[in-house]
């Protein structure tokens, strides 16, 4: 099924259970998979993968990769190989 909205957004429901929504104003694509994983692809080439348990993987246009755990701790790996970890104290 394909739906075109008046604001130029487009929503596709695919037979395999994926839902792909294109936000025209920001040129962002949001894909939702049957297992609950969501993938966002932004016009600046940033890509994000969100898991149902709260984890996230973010690939920035400069090549930096950030992992956010479900407990909100973060790890970033920069293009030069430098790693940064942020721990949350409770």
- Residue ranges of domains in the chain: 1-43
Q: What is the mean pLDDT of residues 6-32?
A: 98
DSSP code of 6?
T
pLDDT above 90: percentage of residues in the chain: 93
Closest-CA residue to 76 (of 90, 57, 89):
57
| Whole-number pLDDT of residue 7 | 97
Query: Is the pLDDT score of 89 beyond 80?
Result: no
**Whether residue 90 has pLDDT greater than 70:** no
Position 88 pLDDT exceeds 90: no
Q: Taking residues 46-54, what's their average pLDDT?
A: 97
């Amino acid at each position: 099924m394909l739906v075109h909205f008046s604001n130029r957004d487009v929503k596709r429901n695919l037979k395999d259970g994926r839902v792909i929504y294109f936000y025209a104003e920001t040129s962002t694509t949001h894909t939702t998979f049957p297992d609950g994983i969501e993938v966002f692809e932004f016009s600046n080439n940033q890509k994000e993968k969100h898991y149902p348990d709260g984890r996230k993987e973010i690939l920035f246009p400069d090549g930096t990769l950030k992992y956010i755990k479900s407990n909100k701790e973060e790890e970033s790996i920069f293009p030069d190989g430098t790693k940064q970890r942020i721990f949350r104290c409770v």
